[in-house]
Amino acid sequence: MPKPTPELVEKAVNAIRMLAADAVQQANSGHPGMPMGAADMAFVLWTRHLRFDPQEPRWIDRDRFVLSAGHGSMLLYALLHLAGFDCTLDDLKKFRQLGSRTPGHPEFGHLPGVEVTSGPLGQGFANGVGMAMGQAMLSAKLGPGNPVADHFVYAIVSDGDLMEGVAAEAASFAGHNRLGRLVYLYDDNEITIDGKTSIAFTGEDVTRRFEGYGWHVQSVDGRDHAGIDRALSEAKAVLDRPSLIRVRTTIGFGSPGKAGKSSVHGAPLGEEELAATKRNLGWPLEPRFLVPDDVRALWAEVAAERRAQREAWNAATQAWRAGNPEKAAVLDVHAERWVPDRILDRILDGAAGAEATRKLSAAAIQKIAPLVPSLVGGSADLAESNLTDLKGGGSFAPASPGGRNVHYGIREHAMGAIMNGLAFDGLFVPFGGTFLQFADYMRPSVRIAALSGLQTIYVWTHDSIFLGEDGPTHQPVEHLSALRAIPNLHVVRPCDGEEVAVAWAHALKRRDGPTALALSRQKISAVRRDGAFDPEAALRGGYLVADAEGARFTAVATGSEVPLAQAALDLLAKKGLPGRLVSVPCLACFEAQPASWRDEVVRPGLPACAIEAARGTEWWKLVGRDGLVVGIDRFGQSAPEKALAEEYGFTPAKLAERIEAWLASRS
Ligand SMILES: Cc1ncc(C[n+]2csc(CCOP(=O)(O)OP(=O)(O)O)c2C)c(N)n1
């Protein structure tokens, strides 16, 4: 592309600024300051470095661009529009409106080219780390010289991103793993909502902090295009470390009254200040949403250059595919995140037995690993407890990026967000383990996975107070309820090997949302079923395990409480109070079934009780107000499992007593 004149470049950057300011003004809500300040670095990155194809936004070897400071969404939308993605001026005019493709913060799936859902600060930072990890893993699998996985992951990150703990965890992980294709631009504008960063962010020297993590760090002035260009080139050349480029900017650049002030962070400029800004920048006051012809022409040249780049890539890749059919097949397996059709049968084969469900899960994982090459995962330093190791899978590490076992370290939150990065990228199926109690440390990322419809799998073990002696800090009580409250998250609490197989198969087949496995630390007794296990019934989330003639009630249970409930039902049957036993491994799946199935399983008119060693609030919906929920409404205690079972009423005799009293109170 011929070098544009400095005047045209300035005009093109101002076009980004003014699209952002106009859109925020029109919406009467939004964040103009960040896009106005960061427009220069974004322009240099997108026009001189970023590799993209607007015609095929998910092109496998595109460079990834993450806007971690999602409140600056208009920066991304303006870039997508100018670069020729399917983002029209009309989309920009509908910024932040109901049903528009341009929501307040970027949301994955709304617009092509939006790589991640960002907004909770720090998440995007960690997502990019996951993407860079995916790049390293894929590249290792495809071998040297492959033209498919040599992309970079860029992000614009802000003060807020760097202050959030999740970014610290992710930066440490990225430094340790030497993710050299990670290049982050830090919009160092020294302003947040409450004022100057000097009120809360001077205790650390960001440069030394990131150097300490093992990053390559540069500093550059935010208006110096040549400097930004050079820094990006240097960052790309340093392939043994992630890069942070500190870009010193002025928030709200161009606004005579508000530049450099927190007042421009999150509110429209106002009509007067918008006009003053346009005058200041030599921009016509009208029309709004102006993209001058010469600016369009400049972007058309960028697009033409990218097209040529893409065509050269196509040719190189075709030649590589022809010469490397086996590697090409590996690539296709990843591109599809291929899972065999009969995966459930394969996992079920030989599954069964009474065991801790975490152990049954470990057995399932070993069967799955060779069948699903895109499955990668690990634990936040609890692999020995979560039993997440893919045996023989090798460790993901700088010297072995093809390893499938990820050592996240004690960084649950980053693990969640890094898994999301892998899932946004779509080339791997990530799973991650920790204790169910520590799911709290991952929750913001789990929520984003659910919101964004990501395929992530959580292996949360030690799923009740019956983990025992570690005590209440480690014993989940409210967690199942809190997690079930997240829309689109499937929480599955299986009771035996067969249900564990169903849980894993469900998680692997599910493409539009995350699945969480809640697994027991302790050994669970065997469940007696009427007839053979019916996987189709279990996949519906809730099913009848054992019927009883003349049943007086239905007992619903999950996980370790299914055999417990069965033992209690045996006692009650002897007293002339037979009951039906229902297992509900996945309440969300069960609730999605037609009423005919739900009514068949939990018969209307028959009293129902639910038994789960947890808070249990969500079961009231199923059992009704005259039903019974046997749960736990206080914290656990440090004690052996058996003592806890006595203390909390989770023995067959005590449970039978509760149910009998409840039935008596109804008659
Ligand atoms: C986890 C989280 N906490 C709080 C917020 C609310 N919030 C949005 S922007 C912002 C300040 C961000 O300052 P900075 O990152 O420097 O952005 P800039 O002022 O440069 O636009 C805050 C606190 C958020 N989006 N995410």
- Report CA(109)–ligand 1 centroid distance (Å): 23
Q: Which atom of ligand 1 is nearest to the CA of 262?
A: 19
**Does residue 34 have its Cβ closer than 6 Å to ligand 1?**
yes
71 lines ligand 1 (CB under 6 A): yes
Q: Ligand 1 centroid to 662 CA: how many Å?
A: 51
Question: 432 CA distance to ligand 1 centroid (A)?
Answer: 28
| The ligand 1 atom nearest the CA atom of 72 | 21
Ramachandran bin of 614, using left for φ above 0, alpha for ψ from -120 to 50, beta for the remaining angles: beta
pLDDT digits (tens, 9 = 90+) for 296-321: 999 999 999 999 999 999 999 999 99
Q: How many CA atoms lie within 13 A of 382 on its CB side?
A: 23
The reply to whether ligand 1 has any atom less than 6 angstroms from the CB of 159 is yes
Q: Which of 219, 302, 274, 256 is nearest to 3 (CA)?
A: 302
* Residue 249 pLDDT greater than 80, yes or no: yes
Residues 648 and 612: their CA atoms lie apart, in Å, by 11
Is residue 69 within 6 Å of ligand 1 at its C-beta?
yes
| Any ligand 1 atom below 6 A from CB of 192 | yes
Cα of 32 from ligand 1 centre, angstroms: 13
* Phi/psi of residue 219, nearest 5 degrees: -130, 145
Residue nearest to atom 23 of ligand 1 (CA): 193
Given pLDDT bands bounded at 50, 70 and 90, which one contains residue 64?
A: very high
pLDDT tens-digit profile of 126-171?
999 999 999 999 999 999 889 999 999 999 999 999 999 999 999 9
**Residue among 31, 41, 71, 247 to mutate when testing ligand 1 (max atoms within 8 A of CB):** 71
CB-ligand 1 contact for 200 (6 Å cutoff): no
Average pLDDT taken over every residue of the chain? 97
- DSSP characters for 77-106? HHHHHHHTSS--HHHHHTTT-TT-SS-SS-
Q: Does the C-beta of 188 come closer than 6 Å to ligand 1?
A: no
pLDDT per position as a tens digit, 253-304: 999 999 999 999 999 999 999 999 999 999 999 999 999 999 999 999 999 9
**Residue 67 pairs with which residues in a beta bridge?**
156
- Nearest Cα neighbor of 507 from 558, 448, 432 is 432
Mutating to test ligand 1, I would choose from 105, 193, 202 the residue with most ligand atoms within 8 A of its C-beta, which is 193
Distance 193 CA to ligand 1 centre (A): 7
Phi-psi domain of 153 (left: phi exceeds 0; alpha: psi -120 through 50; beta: other): beta
Q: What is the whole-number distance in angstroms between the Cα of residue 652 and the centre of ligand 1?
A: 52
162 lines ligand 1 (CB under 6 A): no
Q: Quote the radius of gyration of the chain (alpha carbons, Å).
A: 28
Contact 251 CB / ligand 1 (< 6 Å): yes
Ligand 1 pocket, residue 25 CB under 6 Å: no
Choose one of 121, 166, 196, 262 to mutate for the ligand 1 pocket test, by most ligand atoms within 8 angstroms of C-beta.
Answer: 121
Q: Compute, in angstroms, the gap from residue 121 CA to the centroid of ligand 1.
A: 6
- Determine the atom of ligand 1 nearest the C-alpha atom of 161: 15
Residues 6+ apart with CB under 8 A from 571: 652, 653, 656
Looking up tokens 């530049």 gives 259
Measure 71 CA to ligand 1 centroid, in angstroms. Answer: 7
Could you read off the pLDDT of 496-519 as tens digits, one per residue?
999 999 999 999 999 999 999 999
Of 24, 192, 201, best ligand 1 pocket probe by most atoms within 8 Å of the beta carbon: 192
CA angle 537, 538, 539 (to 5 degrees): 90
Query: Is 120's C-beta closer than 6 angstroms to any atom of ligand 1?
Result: yes
Secondary-structure breakdown of the chain: helix, strand, coil percentages, each rounded to the nearest 5: 45, 15, 40
**Ligand 1 contacts CB of residue 250 (under 6 A):** no
Q: 412 CA distance to ligand 1 centroid (A)?
A: 22
Residues with Cβ within 8 Å of 173's Cβ and at least 6 positions away in sequence, in order, are: 129, 408, 409, 411, 414, 418
Given this model, what pLDDT does residue 351 score?
80
pLDDT at 353: 77
| β strands within 58-169, DSSP E | 64-67, 153-158
Give the catalytic positions in this structure: 412
The CA distance from 243 to 171, in Å, is: 10
Q: Work out the average pLDDT over 446-474.
A: 98
- Tell me if 189 CB under 6 Å of ligand 1: yes
Closest ligand 1 atom number to CA of residue 160: 15
Q: How far apart, in whole angstroms, are the C-alpha atoms of residue 141 and residue 120?
A: 33
Q: What is the pLDDT of residue 139?
A: 97
Instruction: Report, as an integer, the average pLDDT of 226-251.
Output: 98
CA nearest ligand 1 atom 15, residue: 160
Torsion, CA 581, CA 587, CA 589, CA 593, rounded to 10: 60
Give percent above pLDDT 90 in the chain: 98
The alpha-helical segments, DSSP class H, found in 548-651 are 561-574, 587-591, 595-601, 620-623, 641-648
Residue 352's pLDDT band (cuts 50, 70, 90): confident
What is the rounded CA–CA span in Å between residue 141 and residue 313? Answer: 19
Distance of CA 422 to the CA centre of its chain: 8
